[in-house]
Amino acid sequence: MSTNVAQFQEAAARVTADTRQRQFIRTALGNYEIARDKRKAAFQSWESARQAAALTKWEAVNHLDTHLEELVAKLEARGTKVHWASNGTQAREIILGIVAAKQAKSIIKSKAMTSEEIHLNEALEKAGFEVVESDLGEFIVQLRGEAPYHIVFPSMHLTRGQIRELFARELGSTSSDSPEELTMVARRVMRHKYITADIGFTGGNFAIAETGMISITENEGNARLTAALPKTMVTLIGIEKVLPKLADLALFLPMLATAGAGQPLTCYNTMYGGPRQPGEADGPEEWHVVLLDNLRTELLADAEQRDALHCIRCGACLNVCPIFRNVGGHTYGTTYSGPVGSVITPHLRGLQDWKHLSNASSLCGACTEACPVKIDLHHHLLHNRRNAATEKPAFLERMGYKIFGIIANDPLFWSLAKKFGWLTQPLQKLVMGTALDPARAWTKTRDLPPLARQSFKDWWKHRP
């Protein structure tokens, strides 16, 4: 067993044993579902909107080269500096280079999963820069030295009490545990940071080829401020984020808000087309856009799973996933958790090392049903399982299935197997649920149904 799977199993066992935590997550996501269903119902046709969004993304991803070239040409025409990074190391070097050239001291960041993906904060801090996450949830997990729990709701696993203690310890705040007061503590800390930061760092939700823009979706206004006040702005975005037309956002913005958080529209949806332009009041003097591949082209090369690049990181698949709900975000040990993380992580970080995430699914399909861009998520889990078993079959498992096939395909063997099972069943009862029980994985928590004395096939054969 690889260490990853052992860690996953261990973490899963720990979290699932914590009924209080599971209930806490379930309540939060239950409320999300109510809001989401209300917003979905407001659409004239949510299903058609999904289909249209899937078609648009399909077009964008399947002509990625031309869209990217158009995007970059348009961005550069307005004075934006575009950088291409094949992998995380290059992206970090580019960003560190910019920060160093500006002799920056502090960097204010708005939420970006791509920066988690390339471990940017660690790199910047190691190089001696101060990095502050400005999104409240990200700020909280940053203070705790943790990874985000969820790609959209980074701190949803924490109670207000835990956050109050954290703020008291780290910020010396004397706030009560009202969410309102705690938010204001963060607001005050952050105000100062915006004003003094040399660099504003953001991610991006969509890149518009037609007009050369990056669209950022957020609720708090932190990205708006990050893109307004510091003199230099740096944006890191995956190459797959392209949409062909500006007007495509008319569909994607409300769908992202609905699927992601059950909102009609996220509070701030902002499209940036360049650094401060002549005649404008403010904005950064320089804007650097870093386009990140980091094995996205590998996923692109897998035509069967190419639609995984349609992902708009809305988090809907996490929210509805019964696995995610019961094991929580940190158990995955990945940047992208939940169903979409289980699908893409094997492509980004190695199939054999991360295939267990594809196995850790009941294939219920709730994710696929929830996905606003119709990614075939749960079938891709199946495809990952197939690819993993084909590439490197587990000897015993494969033999087991071969033997099972021989037995199942032969009526005599099949009936003998049932007889054998029926005869040995009383022995199994003696060790039920103990370490000696060969079916312990099942029987530790569940009873086994008895094998029927007369199977269906026996009944059929002997019926008058």
User: 298-317 mask for ligand SF4 (x: CB under 6 A)?
Assistant: -------------xxxxxxx
Residue from 214, 300, 370, 388 touching ligand SF4 (CB under 6 A): that is: 370
Tokens of 428: 């199994």
Least distance between other proteins and beta carbon 410 (Å)? 8
**Phi, psi (degrees; rounded to nearest 5) at 130:** -90, 125
Query: Which lies closer to other proteins via its Cβ, residue 128 or residue 426?
Result: 426
Q: Is there binding between residue 344 and ligand SF4 (CB under 6 A)?
A: no
Q: Is there binding between residue 21 and other proteins (CB under 8 A)?
A: no
User: Residue 149: what residue type?
Assistant: Y
- DSSP H or E segment with residue 382: helix 377-391
Q: Could you say which of other proteins, ligand SF4, none residue 167 binds, taking C-beta under 5 to 8 angstroms by partner kind?
A: none
Site for ligand SF4 in 136-175 (CB under 6 A): none
Q: Is there binding between residue 348 and ligand SF4 (CB under 6 A)?
A: no
3-state secondary structure of 101: helix
Q: Is there binding between residue 321 and ligand SF4 (CB under 6 A)?
A: no
Query: Which lies closer to ligand SF4 via its Cβ, residue 70 or residue 116?
Result: 116
* E strand spans, 242-284: 242-243, 268-272
Contact assessment for residue 201 and residue 108, using Cβ atoms and an 8 Å cutoff: yes
Half-sphere exposure of 154 (CA within 13 A, CB side): 23
Torsional sign, CA 339, 131, 214, 241: negative
**Phi, psi (degrees; rounded to nearest 5) at 105:** -110, -45
Site for other proteins in 148-167 (CB under 8 A): 153-156, 158-160, 163
**Phi, psi (degrees; rounded to nearest 5) at 270:** -125, 135
Q: Could you say which of ligand SF4, other proteins, none residue 301 binds, taking C-beta under 5 to 8 angstroms by partner kind?
A: other proteins
User: 373-412 mask for ligand SF4 (x: CB under 6 A)?
Assistant: x-x-x-----------------------------------
Q: Is there binding between residue 229 and ligand SF4 (CB under 6 A)?
A: no
Least distance between ligand SF4 and beta carbon 253 (Å)? 14
Contact assessment for residue 357 and residue 67, using Cβ atoms and an 8 Å cutoff: no
CA distances from 37 to 7, 55, 120, 156, 263 (A): 35, 23, 36, 20, 10
Q: Could you say which of other proteins, ligand SF4, none residue 89 binds, taking C-beta under 5 to 8 angstroms by partner kind?
A: none
Q: Could you say which of ligand SF4, other proteins, none residue 76 binds, taking C-beta under 5 to 8 angstroms by partner kind?
A: none
Q: Could you say which of ligand SF4, other proteins, none residue 340 binds, taking C-beta under 5 to 8 angstroms by partner kind?
A: ligand SF4
Least distance between ligand SF4 and beta carbon 240 (Å)? 11
Least distance between ligand SF4 and beta carbon 310 (Å)? 7
Q: Is there binding between residue 29 and ligand SF4 (CB under 6 A)?
A: no
Distance from C-alpha of 227 to C-alpha of 225, rounded to nearest angstrom: 5
Distance from C-alpha of 71 to C-alpha of 140, rounded to nearest angstrom: 34
Contact assessment for residue 101 and residue 185, using Cβ atoms and an 8 Å cutoff: no
- Beta strands 286-292 and 81-85 are parallel
Site for other proteins in 240-279 (CB under 8 A): 245-251, 253-254, 261, 264-277, 279
Least distance between other proteins and beta carbon 122 (Å)? 22
Contact assessment for residue 110 and residue 201, using Cβ atoms and an 8 Å cutoff: yes
Query: Which lies closer to ligand SF4 via its Cβ, residue 290 or residue 312?
Result: 312
User: Residue 427: what residue type?
Assistant: L
**Phi, psi (degrees; rounded to nearest 5) at 337:** -105, -170
What is the binding site for ligand SF4 (CB under 6 A)?
311-317, 340, 370-373, 375, 377
